[in-house]
Amino acid sequence: MGLQLARLVAICLALALAGGSALQREARPRSHGHSVCSTWGDFHYKTFDGDVFRFPGLCDYNFASDCRDSYKEFAVHLKRSQGQGGGHPQVGSILLTIKDDTIYLTHQLVVVNGAMVSTPHYSSGLLIEKNEAYTKVYSRAGLSLMWNREDALMLELDSRFQNHTCGLCGDFNGLPSYSEFLSEGVTFSAIEFGNMQKINKPEVVCEDPEEVPAPESCSKHVSPSLGALRVSGWGPHLWVLSGTLLWGERGAVSSCPPPRPSCQRAECERLLTDAAFQDCQARLPLELYVQACMQDRCRCPQGGACVCSTLAEFSRQCSHAGGRPGNWRSASFCRKWPETEPVAASLGLGSPGKGSVPSPRGPQLWGAR
* DSSP code string of 8-24: HHHHHHHHHHHT--HHH
Q: Helix or strand or coil: residue 162?
A: coil
Please tell me the distance from the alpha carbon of residue 347 to that of residue 146, in angstroms, as a whole number: 11
Q: Which residues of the chain register pLDDT less than 70? A: 1-34, 85-87, 177-179, 213-263, 300-305, 337-369
Would you say residue 141 lies in a domain? yes
Would you say residue 180 lies in a domain? yes
The distance in angstroms from the start CA to the end CA of the chain is 52
pLDDT given at position 214: 52
Would you say residue 312 lies in a domain? no
- Of 52, 57, 85, the residue nearest 254 (C-alpha): 52
pLDDT given at position 63: 98
Which residue type, as a one-letter code, is found at position 271? L
- Is the peptide bond between 261 and the residue preceding it cis, with omega within 30 degrees of 0? no
Q: Are 89 and 44 in contact (CB under 8 A)?
A: no
Kind plus residue range of the DSSP H or E element containing 231: strand 231-234
pLDDT given at position 86: 59
pLDDT given at position 302: 58
Partners of residue 102 on adjacent β-strands: 97
DSSP assignment of 216-261 equals GGGGGGTHHHHTTS-EEEETTTEEEETTEEE--BTTBS---SS--G
Would you say residue 299 lies in a domain? no
Burial class (CB in 10 A: 0-12, 13-18, 19+), 131: middle
Q: How far is CA 311 from the centre of its chain?
A: 13
| Digit-coded pLDDT (tens) for 6-33 | 454 444 444 444 433 322 323 334 444 3
Would you say residue 317 lies in a domain? no
pLDDT given at position 260: 53
Would you say residue 315 lies in a domain? no
Please tell me the distance from the alpha carbon of residue 67 to that of residue 136, in angstroms, as a whole number: 23
Q: Helix or strand or coil: residue 218?
A: helix
Which residue type, as a one-letter code, is found at position 236? P
| Predicted TM-score (pTM) of this structure | 0.74
Q: Are 262 and 298 in contact (CB under 8 A)?
A: yes
pLDDT given at position 147: 97
Would you say residue 320 lies in a domain? no
Would you say residue 308 lies in a domain? no
Which residue type, as a one-letter code, is found at position 233? G
Q: Are 92 and 149 in contact (CB under 8 A)?
A: no
Please tell me the distance from the alpha carbon of residue 362 to that of residue 140, in angstroms, as a whole number: 5
pLDDT given at position 186: 85
Range of the domain at 161: 2-213+236-256
Q: How far is CA 354 from the centre of its chain?
A: 27
- Kindly tell me the sign of the dihedral angle through the C-alpha atoms of 295, 298, 302, 303: positive
Please tell me the distance from the alpha carbon of residue 101 to that of residue 242, in angstroms, as a whole number: 41
Kind plus residue range of the DSSP H or E element containing 138: strand 135-139
Count of residues in the chain: 369
pLDDT given at position 264: 77
Q: How many domains does the chain have?
A: 1
